[in-house]
Chain A
Amino acid sequence: MAVDTQAPSRGFSGASYRTCPETGLKVCSQAEALIKVNAVVAVVFLAVGGFFGLLVALTRWPAVHLLPADWFYLLLTAHGADVLLFWIIFFEVAVLYFASAIILNCRLAAPKWAWLAFVLMVVGAVVANVAVLQGESSVMFTSYVPMQAAPHFYLGLIVFAVGALIAVFVFFGTLVIAKEEGSYEGSVPLVTFGAITAAIIAVFTIASGAIILIPTFLWSVGYISHIDPLMYKVIWWGMGHSSQQINVSAQVAIWYAVAAMLLGAKPLSEKVSRMAFLMYILFLQLASAHHLLVEPGVSSEWKIFNTSYALYLAVLGSMIHGMSIPGAMEAAQRRAGFNNGMFEWLRKAPWGNPAFSGVALSIVIFGFLGGITGVIMGTEQLNLIMHNTLYVPGHFHATVVGGTTLAFMAITYLVVPLIFRKEIMFKKIAQWQPYVFGAGISGVSLFMMGAGTLGVSRRHWDIGFSDAAMSFDYPATAFLMMGLNGISAILASLGGLMFVLVVVCSVFFGKARTPESIAASPTLPSTGTAETVTTYGSEKHPKLPGTVVLVTVFFVAFVLYYYVNWKYLSEVWPLS
């Protein structure tokens, strides 16, 4: 990959550029094209997978009970794979190319490899989908052995992962090129550093996936006779959970990016924010142990050390970002003159801009609903009263949907005008979209957690147990929760549909951006960017009363809810 580094102008695979009229950045045309295709395919998988999610939720609504059992398990498998793996990872590849080639002002390394990566990922994702829809692979996307899927299910995932790995190396190659060609000075921007964090975690993720999925594939075709179920689970979650940590890193990078682009926010301190990312790099992946807290065979020492990310150092990282980003926004807004009282800076933020409101909601939903519950579920003993209940999907719909997906949607509202160079169509719908989706998914998350607290199992077709030899009745509230979850799911799906509608129409049928339209409605308001940030660096010790209040509320909620759960635990049967 380093072969061509000396000759950017030689037109290697047509390395041509345009200059972005809005940011002044040099945009490599290959990077731009790859960002477009990866983002478009991502949105397709979101649309398909999100639709499956709606059908699943409607089936779990006891009064509706839409699908028959076999279709429920089939589409639940497809939902998990399409949204969690394919939507998220295609979009992340686009983010990586953006954070390297575009932000660093240089050409993309080895575009041919990047195209190969794209093709492999598409082929793998399609093959895996075909396998699931054929019906012989309803094993859930976790595919725990010894339950077996069709060989091409595993093969599809492996091919997809190989593609993703190539994309990650194209990203690292681009960093090398940017440095050698001196396309930036000093250290990489913070957003790129966040992307580096994501890419590093991706390497571990994909390596773990290869270690376990390749033997599992060989087992499915009969070359290997036995895969140990515990071994599978330890290594599989090295992939499964770490991939969620890629999301966290990418999403935090996007929070910083949007805060910077829309408000001109600069981090309170480069040093602290980068150290927070370093905590991610070193410790976030240990939390794969979250999924093994009630398994036989691994010791409490291993569980406690790993599940706590080595003394909660990665949680420290997240709590730092959780203060640093609102803090940076507050500082920027106060600089821009919104200096009255505690919260004028927040009230006068661009709430009508879906890129901003999406990020703001993403921060709140991820922090309050997703983050707190994640740490609680990831506590060795507390997991006993939550494992495999609906509390788990409740939690991760707050993280990976309310947090990551919403953040990705938010930045898409900037990508469409800046990279696709199209006007956003249906502005009113776009304006409402983050609120509708955010409200819906918060409901999905809260009601599933509520049902989980009452003991309702995840991945379960019939909580009435009508065909079971023995009976059991969940409390009536649990049924109510599942109904409310269904209603919230409809709302969330409506929000998802609004997103897909706006994005697809804008990209394919939208008006091209012209110099006039750019002047009339700039994507990046000049307030923050041009003047106020003449020099870039850490904020100079601003007063942040609003942020202090916000993080205090967060902290109190965290501590209270944490100990409430210990109280619940202390009431169940003693066991040792």
Chain B
Amino acid sequence: MAISPPENKLWWKEPLSGVEITWVGIAFLWGLVMFGTMVSWHFVGKQNLSNETYRTTPDAFGEKVEAMVERFQVREEGDTGVPVVHPTPGSDVYMLGRLWEWWPVLELEKGQNYRLHLSSTDWQHGFSLQPQNINIQVHPGYDMVLTITPDKAGEYAVVCNEFCGIGHHTMVGKIHVVDKK
């Protein structure tokens, strides 16, 4: 039994059964395939998270967001009057998570690239773009930069999916993707 010591004291030298060794081989190869798939997606796939991150502070990040809003605001949206910005394609755009809103609302053009900066000014938040279902963790003190290319026009919600206190379930933001003007 597996609950008594092996009778054969030199169990290491026992020959292996064919079925088992075949399975070990298959499982090992499958591991290599999965590893290779992950690596090669960085070269052939279009959905990879960037490795670009900077240390920042809530104030410094907040200033950049304000500057963008000042420059590109086109209207307001929602019960609380969150500004909507329409930044130039290709530019740096910012989205800030804080208790309990995503700020501001972004209006992006379909098929264009944007360098999206994500950070928080208080606790951790979860950037969950719906219904795309792209999910990224947002930390205070870190500015994560990713290049996004929205490829379908429409209205997208940014749900917070990291627990951030009692108002967590009210934290919803917006990204609009519009056809090129």
Residues of A within 8 A of B (CB): 69-70, 73, 103, 138-140, 144, 146-147, 184-192, 228-230, 256-257, 259-261, 264-272, 293-297, 299-300, 304, 308, 311-313, 315-316, 319-320, 323-324, 327-328, 375, 379-381, 383-389, 453-455, 457-463, 465, 467-472, 474-475, 528-529, 533, 535-539, 541-542, 544, 547-548, 551, 555, 558-559, 562, 566, 569-570, 572-576
Partner of B5, one of A184, A389, A573: A184
Interface string of B3-46 (1 = CB under 8 A from A): 11111110110111111110110111011101101110110011
Interchain Cβ contacts under 8 Å between A and B, 12 examples: A260-B2, A270-B8, A293-B49, A294-B49, A299-B51, A304-B38, A315-B27, A457-B161, A459-B162, A559-B30, A570-B45, A570-B46
In terms of DSSP, what is the predominant structure of the interface of chain A? loop
Chain B interface residue count: which class?
35 or more
Which residues of A lie under 8 Å from residue B146 when comparing CB positions? 575-576
Judging by beta carbons under 8 Å apart, are A574 and B142 in contact?
Answer: no
Q: Cα distance A315–B139 when bound, in Å?
A: 31
Q: Cα distance A56–B12 when bound, in Å?
A: 50
Judging by beta carbons under 8 Å apart, are B148 and A575 in contact?
Answer: yes
In the assembled complex, B70 has its CB within 8 A of some CB on chain A: no
Least Cβ–Cβ distance between B89 and chain A, in angstroms:
14
Q: Cα distance A530–B48 when bound, in Å?
A: 57
Partner of A536, one of B1, B45, B168: B1
Q: Are A188 and B48 CB-contacts (below 8 A) given A146-B140, A469-B78?
A: no
Judging by beta carbons under 8 Å apart, are A256 and B2 in contact?
Answer: yes
Least Cβ–Cβ distance between B51 and chain A, in angstroms:
5
Partner of A575, one of B49, B139, B160: B49
Judging by beta carbons under 8 Å apart, are A460 and B132 in contact?
Answer: no
Q: Are A144 and B124 CB-contacts (below 8 A) given A184-B5, A187-B6, A191-B3?
A: yes
Least Cβ–Cβ distance between B159 and chain A, in angstroms:
6
Which residues of B lie under 8 Å from residue A575 when comparing CB positions? 46-50, 134, 146-149
Judging by beta carbons under 8 Å apart, are B9 and A187 in contact?
Answer: yes
In the assembled complex, B166 has its CB within 8 A of some CB on chain A: yes
Judging by beta carbons under 8 Å apart, are B132 and A573 in contact?
Answer: yes
Judging by beta carbons under 8 Å apart, are A468 and B170 in contact?
Answer: yes
Most buried by A among B38, B79, B170: B38
In the assembled complex, B68 has its CB within 8 A of some CB on chain A: no
Interface string of B139-166 (1 = CB under 8 A from A): 1111110111111100001011111111
Judging by beta carbons under 8 Å apart, are B163 and A576 in contact?
Answer: no
Nearest residue in A to B42 (C-beta to C-beta)?
A300
Q: Are A381 and B14 CB-contacts (below 8 A) given A311-B35, A461-B169, A576-B147?
A: no
In the assembled complex, B133 has its CB within 8 A of some CB on chain A: yes
Q: Cα distance A260–B53 when bound, in Å?
A: 52
Least Cβ–Cβ distance between A528 and chain B, in angstroms:
8
Partner of B34, one of A192, A312, A460, A470: A312
In the assembled complex, B66 has its CB within 8 A of some CB on chain A: no
Most buried by B among A140, A272, A296, A379: A296
Least Cβ–Cβ distance between A326 and chain B, in angstroms:
11
Which residues of A lie under 8 Å from residue B141 when comparing CB positions? 228-229
Q: Are A189 and B142 CB-contacts (below 8 A) given A73-B166, A312-B31, A315-B27?
A: no
Which residues of A lie under 8 Å from residue B164 when comparing CB positions? 147
Judging by beta carbons under 8 Å apart, are B37 and A469 in contact?
Answer: no
Which residues of B lie under 8 Å from residue A316 when comparing CB positions? 24, 27-28, 31
Judging by beta carbons under 8 Å apart, are A230 and B142 in contact?
Answer: yes
Which residues of B lie under 8 Å from residue A470 when comparing CB positions? 77-79, 82, 157, 172-174
Q: Are A381 and B38 CB-contacts (below 8 A) given A388-B162, A468-B169, A536-B4?
A: yes
Q: Are A455 and B130 CB-contacts (below 8 A) given A316-B31, A470-B157?
A: yes
Judging by beta carbons under 8 Å apart, are B166 and A69 in contact?
Answer: yes
Q: Cα distance A465–B161 when bound, in Å?
A: 13
Judging by beta carbons under 8 Å apart, are B17 and A259 in contact?
Answer: no
Which residues of A lie under 8 Å from residue B12 when comparing CB positions? 270-271
Which residues of A lie under 8 Å from residue B174 when comparing CB positions? 470
Judging by beta carbons under 8 Å apart, are A270 and B14 in contact?
Answer: yes
In the assembled complex, B122 has its CB within 8 A of some CB on chain A: yes
Q: Cα distance A146–B122 when bound, in Å?
A: 8
Q: Cα distance A454–B79 when bound, in Å?
A: 27
Q: Cα distance A453–B133 when bound, in Å?
A: 8
Judging by beta carbons under 8 Å apart, are A457 and B45 in contact?
Answer: no
Partner of A388, one of B18, B137, B139: B137
Q: Cα distance A269–B1 when bound, in Å?
A: 12
Interface string of B104-116 (1 = CB under 8 A from A): 0000000000000
Which residues of A lie under 8 Å from residue B151 when comparing CB positions? 573-574
Judging by beta carbons under 8 Å apart, are B53 and A297 in contact?
Answer: yes
Judging by beta carbons under 8 Å apart, are A147 and B165 in contact?
Answer: yes
Which residues of A lie under 8 Å from residue B16 when comparing CB positions? 269, 271-272
Judging by beta carbons under 8 Å apart, are B30 and A381 in contact?
Answer: no
Least Cβ–Cβ distance between A99 and chain B, in angstroms:
9
Q: Are A574 and B46 CB-contacts (below 8 A) given A265-B2, A266-B2?
A: yes
Q: Cα distance A381–B38 when bound, in Å?
A: 7
Q: Are A475 and B131 CB-contacts (below 8 A) given A229-B139, A311-B32, A315-B27?
A: yes
Nearest residue in A to B147 (C-beta to C-beta)?
A576
Q: Cα distance A465–B167 when bound, in Å?
A: 11
